[in-house]
Structure 1
């Protein structure tokens, strides 16, 4: 963590280490010929520039083995989970070498994952320092909810008229997964389950471009707001999750008016 993250203290850093820190085996940390390259090692002056690496120690216990080809993907997933949980905090700067130390990998897969997050708009590159988590306010969240409603509502209403009840019933496990994650107050798990449910609903339209756009908007809507790691309470998550099961009930019953009411309310709540 770099200069912009100094004010958060060790508690937030340690929490990030616990939530996102699955270490990668030593053989996955090296360069192409089994040697770590100089570009992957933290520079000697990193600490002097404020790139903190405190809190790298991770909980004891077995850790899953990771194949080299999947390191970047697992780091990206862990960073996304930390972002949703508020452990990568808006406005703070994080360096690839420091995060690499936390994950037990070289800086390279972290830097690649952060570049992907930069493309998605979650972070921005700070030259010679690292990546700053983008600061967002309530207005941006409201705008995202409005755009999602404009895209998804007519699609769901059309599908309500054409998709048979048994197809909707097949989505029940996905809706129930959101309820479990919300009840456990696990924001990262809820974010994944929530997107999986919405993606499965929209997938019935058979439009790949729709899925890509809607998933990108949905992911952006889950990023934390400035001023706190999480804007929504556990009760909000539970209410949101129960909207999913209620929507499925209405779709299975063919109650299009109830479907319209539930979809509009769902997006109005953000």
Structure 2
């Protein structure tokens, strides 16, 4: 039996890169609401759209399916998932549970954070807040995702960061179609990225913790209005956290922040 030499590393990198580019482009389209739930397409349609061969497209679509970001129908193609309100509630609750655990773990350990990443976090916060206040959905989706990825990397481990990113992708896949085309997007998008960053850099762990819980409550409440769902701000628990202080109130520093 003749030996088939493997493809060159360069060829593998090119193909992998193309697959990742296609997957990333489709993921961005879904997150921005340009590929809403129920949209159906085939490998050939996507290959023709992007002007590439079918193989990396098929690999990209199978990869997105494995991430539960697409549904695959045998011999029929792929469909953008239809997420119900109950799915969205679970997404937000999962996000709240993970971030709550992260900040409880940081109690007394604020000095272990990689504070050298602060300038990058601030840039991400500025960009995301501007996009949210301007109601620029396409810009906001990307900026918001990068901000939360930077924040999670700032304080957590890689597996937690990846999981939170997956939850955020799911969040936008659900939310963006409800926001797209509205003139009042800014009323339904959280814009506290800068204040959250300022509190974190001031070592005010408790206020950051409370802000994240309140942010998740606000996410449910805002989307419940758009979706016509009741009890949208129902995110039970976390009553042991102090209230968020008003603007201008100095942040208390953690005991070990300067150690």
TM-score of Structure 1 vs Structure 2, range by shorter chain: 0.5 to 0.7
- Dislocated runs of 4+, deviation >6 Å: none
Question: After superposition, where does 1:22-41 map in structure 2 within 5 Å?
Answer: none
CA distance in 2, matches of 1:192, 1:262: 21
CA distance in 2, matches of 1:163, 1:185: 34
Equivalent in the alignment of 2:198: 249
What is the CA distance between 1:68 and its match in structure 2?
5.2
2:155 aligned with 1:208: no
2:178 aligned with 1:230: yes
Decide which of 182, 201, 220 is 2:170's aligned counterpart.
220
Decide which of 135, 154, 163 is 2:82's aligned counterpart.
135
Deviates more, 1:86-95 or 1:141-150: 86-95
TM-score (norm 2): 0.67
Question: After superposition, where does 1:161-176 map in structure 2 within 5 Å?
Answer: 161-163=108-110, 166-167=115-116, 169-170=118-119, 171-176=121-126
Equivalent in the alignment of 1:268: 217
Equivalent in the alignment of 1:199: 149
TM-score (norm 1): 0.65
8 Å CA contact retained: 2:134, 2:186 = no
Provide closer, same or farther for how the CA distance between residues 69 and 118 of structure 1 changes in structure 2, counting only shifts above 3 A. closer
CA distance in 1, matches of 2:135, 2:48: 28
CA distance in 1, matches of 2:149, 2:218: 19
What SS does the aligned partner of 1:102 have?
Answer: helix
Provide closer, same or farther for how the CA distance between residues 69 and 203 of structure 1 changes in structure 2, counting only shifts above 3 A. closer
Give the number of equivalent residue pairs. 201
CA distance in 2, matches of 1:169, 1:157: 21
Equivalent in the alignment of 1:53: none
Equivalent in the alignment of 2:223: none
What SS does the aligned partner of 2:177 have?
Answer: coil
* Runs (5+) with no aligned partner, structure 1: 1-31, 33-66
CA distance in 2, matches of 1:211, 1:108: 30
Equivalent in the alignment of 2:92: 145
* Runs (5+) with no aligned partner, structure 2: 1-6, 8-13, 220-259
What is the CA distance between 1:70 and its match in structure 2?
2.2
Decide which of 49, 55, 61 is 1:114's aligned counterpart.
61
What is the CA distance between 1:218 and its match in structure 2?
2.0
CA distance in 2, matches of 1:151, 1:71: 33
Provide closer, same or farther for how the CA distance between residues 94 and 116 of structure 1 changes in structure 2, counting only shifts above 3 A. same
CA distance in 2, matches of 1:200, 1:160: 20
8 Å CA contact retained: 2:88, 2:174 = no
8 Å CA contact retained: 2:40, 2:77 = yes
Question: After superposition, where does 1:173-192 map in structure 2 within 5 Å?
Answer: 173-183=123-133, 185-192=135-142
